A and B are shown apart, each in its own frame.
Chain A
Amino acid sequence: MHEWTRKHLLSIEELSKEEILTILETAESFKDISLRPIKKSPVLRGKTIVLLFYEPSTRTSTSFSLAAKRLSADIVNIPVKSSSVQKGESLIDTVANLEALKIHTVVMRHSRAGAPMMLAKHTNASIINAGDGCHEHPTQALLDMFTIKQNKGSFDGLKITIVGDILHSRVARSNIWGLSKLGAEVTVCGPPTMIPVEVEKMGVKVTYDLKEAIAGADVVNLLRVQFERESGMLFPSVREYAAMFSMDDTMERFMKKDALIMHPGPINRGVEISSSMADGKRSVILEQVTNGLAVRMAVLYLISGEKNNSEEA
């Protein structure tokens, strides 16, 4: 296995193919722990991990929190509403204060793109990006890749389609980087208002036609339509979006027999995906959640584990 040397996990863009594979292989070995009667490993005993979430999140924070516990780390949850951020404290000051308490790792979710990169320059703690604005969501992409690997074996020549609001999606960006590095062909699909300019330069194909996008695809990854974003500017109505981009039974006949349906959640049933598809035989949506735990254990282990960590953070 490729030796892990990174102090932070900030983006998938900066990782090499070998580093991504290292994380996926490490996740493999952690998958078993969750299947044992005593679901615990001591590898992060004595390490303190802070979950600093500046945006609401249930699934990602729960997953990280559980992953840290299973590796025996001490965890501190700092949801923003109860923190001094409300009193106007800057991000740099907040983390400096945490660091003064000798913590090792900060898992951070933030609404501003680039916030984890800024922090990494100003702190000695390790930073794990749990989603920054519209930029990246590395662990989501890693668990998506892990799930694909579990089901498809290899990435070479695999055709993967991402459907939805690509413009505002950090999940899409991280997936595009990671999957392309692993040798898959990525297509993005959505209304033109939701396709960011020059996205082709990230190595993807673009189509506005859902049927074309799913024909021949091995995996279809559906993004949640975010109603709160500029409604009326990006698409006229949810009804019209669903009519043109919803993954429902009528799409079945355009798909490859063994194509998978993925979704980072939370899903809007009847909007980007029908219940029959979400709960159907192609769906690996819940498998993704299970795999998320193993992947986050792997990331926490590689970032906070012994070989990468002097005790003094």
Chain B
Amino acid sequence: MKILIKNGTVIDPVIGDIKKSDVLIENNRISSVIPNISEDKCEIFDASGLFVCPGFVDIHVHLREPGFETMETIETGTRAALKGGFTTVACMPNTNPPVDNEGIVSLIKLRAEKDGYVEVLPVACITKQRKGEELAEIGKLVAAGACAISDDGSSVMNSMVMRRAFEYIKMFNIPLIAHCEDHNLSKRGQINEGYYSTSLGLNGIPSISEESMIMRDILLCEYVDSRLHIAHVSTKGSVQIIREAKKRGVKVTCETAPHFFSLTEEVLAGYDTNFKVNPPLREKEDLLAIQRGLKDGTIDAIATDHAPHTSDDKNKEFQDAPFGMIGLETAFSVGVTELVKKNILTLPELIKKLTTGPAEVLNIERGIIKEGSLANITIVDKDKKYTVDKEFFVGKSKNSPFIGRELTGSIEGVFVNGKLKYDKGVFNK
């Protein structure tokens, strides 16, 4: 079975190259990336006017299964991923029960094989029950297939436990993904601490709750010479701390989320819970620093932190509604609209943050488009405009901050493991 992607422009984020080229897929691998391939006995995908990219990789999503299936399942979450051009997603372990034993890792992998539209890599817990007290059986978890460890949603507040985790993972080829928040400083916080927390009468989450914990984790990681990946960076200070750490050679990487380079706290003036997220939306200067961090390479990856919640849960008093916003379906378009069209990043630079950037964090062979590589391919139209409405979303939840916005850039086709799974709005499981 051969498929030929014809007349497209291939973006190779590894070398930052853009060129007119055809791509031939044989079975589940790319067999050739050269201009003007002529093949008779094969299916043709016409990519005229479109860009052909490696399949996107999202290293931070919440698929909610097991435990919170009313919000999302592996099936619905990976369908949302596919629509957003993601062919690989790493799912966070704050499920119920949490991913702190091999059984849950295996369960997620089995479900993903059976129901998933895209590849799913489970992230396992750092500590048992995500309590921050005792290390989880990290060796067993890695053996079962965990791609990283994280207590996402919480920081490991006990510095000794965190130090031991950094030391322990040196036996394995995985990063520790840190959710950095000093929970004493952010206690009862609802939105960014600043003018809006003051005028709206909501408790603030100060930037220092994130920055002081990033600083601690970098110091611990550096001290024991381990590997650290920092999740959802949201402040100017965080970007600066990470930039300096990288400069002195600490093995640290980081990600930011689309909402941090596109939205600021002003949108919270109406108490709309779809804008309630942790870390919270920050200020204009934070947004600009995040954009600069993406440009200069301080920020390695864009990850959505896709966090589905039901409308019943979101339709509560602000303080009682959960944190989180969905992001898989809109990530690429938000990137094009806010970064490429505004000349912050070039299209290949954006693609890199969605492919090789995150793949290198997990040290996996994904996000590559060349002869011999796995045929995970995302084909995009960088100029197509659309207005986001609730019907646009194909996951279970609709808690997007972008509803009502016009975005530029759309996903036209997605190949997963050599198969055309998404073709201009049509899903083929």
Q: A interface vs B, CB < 8 Å?
A: 13, 90-92, 110, 112-115, 117-118, 122, 132-136, 170, 173, 196-199, 201-202
Q: Contacts A197-B193, A197-B204 known; A118 to B198 CB distance under 8 Å?
A: no
**Cβ proximity bits B182-214 to A, threshold 8 Å, 1 near / 0 not:** 000000000001110111111010000000000
If the complex has contacts A117-B271, A118-B271, A197-B204, are A110 and B198 also in contact, measured as CB distance less than 8 A? no
Q: What's the Cα separation between A91 and B318 when bound, in Å?
A: 12
B317 and A110 contacting across the interface, CB-CB below 8 Å: yes
Question: Is the contact region of chain A dominated by helix, strand, or loop, or is it mixed?
Answer: mixed
Q: Which residues in B have some Cβ–Cβ distance to A below 8 Å?
A: 193-195, 197-202, 204, 270-271, 312, 315-320
- Smallest CB-CB separation from A195: which chain B residue? B198
15 A–B contacts from the bound complex (CB under 8 Å): A90-B312, A90-B315, A91-B316, A112-B320, A113-B200, A115-B318, A118-B315, A118-B317, A122-B315, A134-B201, A135-B200, A170-B201, A197-B198, A199-B198, A201-B198
What's the Cα separation between A9 and B201 when bound, in Å?
Answer: 17
Which residues on the B side are within 8 Å of A91 (C-beta)?
Answer: 316-317
Q: Are B198 and A113 in contact (CB under 8 A)?
A: no
- How far, in angstroms, from A91 to B197 measured CA to CA in the complex? 23
CB distance from A91 to the nearest CB of B (A): 6
Residue numbers in A under 8 Å from B204 (CB-CB): 197
What CA separation (Å) do A13 and B312 show in the bound complex? 29
A13 to B199, CA, bound (A): 9
Contact check, A202 vs B198: say whether CB atoms are below 8 A apart.
yes
* List of A residues within 8 angstroms of B197 by Cβ: 196-197
Q: How far is the CA of A115 from the CA of B320 in the complex (A)?
A: 10
Are A198 and B201 in contact, CB atoms less than 8 angstroms apart? no
Q: Is the CB of B270 within 8 A of A134?
A: no
B315 touches A173 (CB 8 A): no
Q: Cβ of B270 and Cβ of A173 under 8 Å apart? A: no
In the complex with contacts A118-B271, A197-B193, A197-B194, A113-B199 CB distance below 8 A: no
Partner of B202, one of A13, A114, A136, A201: A114
Which chain A residues border B318 with CB–CB below 8 Å?
112-115, 118
Q: 6 additional contacts, CB 8 Å, given A92-B315, A115-B318, A133-B319? A: A90-B315, A113-B319, A173-B201, A196-B198, A197-B204, A198-B194
Which chain B positions have C-beta within 8 A of A197? 193-195, 197-198, 204
Residues in B whose Cβ lies below 8 Å from that of A199: 198
**Which residue in chain B gives the minimum CB-CB distance to A134?**
B201
Among the listed B195, B198, B270, B316, which residue makes an inter-chain contact with A117, where contact means beta carbons less than 8 Å apart? B270
Closest to B273 in A: A118
Among B193, B316, B318, max chain A CB count under 10 A is at B318
| Closest chain A CB from B322 CB (angstroms) | 14
CB-defined contacts of B316 to chain A, threshold 8 Å: 90-91, 118
Cβ of B347 to closest chain A Cβ, rounded Å: 38
Query: Are B193 and A112 neighbours in the complex by a CB distance under 8 Å?
Result: no
If the complex has contacts A197-B193, A197-B204, are A114 and B199 also in contact, measured as CB distance less than 8 A? no
Q: How far is the CB of A264 from chain B (nearest CB, A)?
A: 16
CA distance A282 to B197 in the complex (A): 34
Instruction: Note all chain A residues with C-beta closer than 8 A to B201.
Output: 113, 132-136, 170, 173
Contact partner, A114, options B193, B198, B200, Cβ 8 Å = B200
Please, which residues of chain B bring their CB within 8 A of the CB of A115?
317-318
Contact A201 B200 (CB under 8 A): no
Most buried by B among A13, A92, A114, A117: A114
Query: How far apart are the CA atoms of A202 and B197 in the complex, in Å?
Result: 12
Bound complex: CA of A23 vs CA of B301, how far in Å?
54
What residues of A have a CB within 8 angstroms of the CB of B315 in the complex? Answer: 90, 92, 118, 122
In the bound complex, CA of A173 to CA of B194 (Å): 15
